[in-house]
Amino acid sequence: MASRVIVVTSGKGGVGKTTTTANVAAALAEMGNKVVAIDGDVGLRNLDVVMGMENRIVYTLIDAIEGACRLNQAVIRDKRVENLYMLPTAQSRTKDAVTPQQMIDVCNELRKDYDYILVDCPAGIEAGFKNAAAGADEALVVATPEVSSVRDADRIIGLLEAMEKSPIRLIVNRIRRDMVKRGDMLGVSDVLDVLAIDLIGMIPDDEAIITSANSGILLTASSGSPASRAFKNIAARVAGEDVPFMNLDSNESAGIFHRIKTMFGF
Ligand X SMILES: Nc1ncnc2c1ncn2[C@@H]1O[C@H](COP(=O)(O)OP(=O)(O)O)[C@@H](O)[C@H]1O
User: Interface with another protein by CB under 8 A: which residues?
Assistant: 145-147, 150-151, 154-155, 158, 179-180, 182-187, 190, 193-194, 196
Q: Does 203 bind ligand X (CB under 6 A)?
A: yes
Q: Does 18 bind Mg ion (CB under 5 A)?
A: yes
Residues in 23-82 that interact with Mg ion by CB under 5 A: 46
Please name which of 228, 184, 220, 236 lies closest in space to residue 204, comparing C-alpha atoms.
Answer: 228
Q: Does 213 bind ligand X (CB under 6 A)?
A: yes
Q: Which of 6, 11, 17, 45 touches ligand X by CB under 6 A? A: 17
Residues in 45-64 that interact with ligand X by CB under 6 A: 46
Shortest approach of ligand X to residue 210 CB, angstroms? 5
Closer residue to ligand X in complex, CB, 165/174:
174
Closer residue to Mg ion in complex, CB, 17/237:
17
Closer residue to another protein in complex, CB, 127/179:
179
Q: Pairing between strand 168-175 and 76-77?
A: unpaired
Kindly write out the interface string for residues 146-175 of this chain, putting x where it contacts ligand X by CB under 6 A and - elsewhere. Answer: ---------------------------xx-
* Residue 5 contact among Mg ion, another protein, ligand X, none, beta carbon within 5 to 8 Å by kind: none
Shortest approach of ligand X to residue 217 CB, angstroms? 13
Query: Can you give the binding site for Mg ion, defined by CB under 5 A?
Result: 17-18, 46
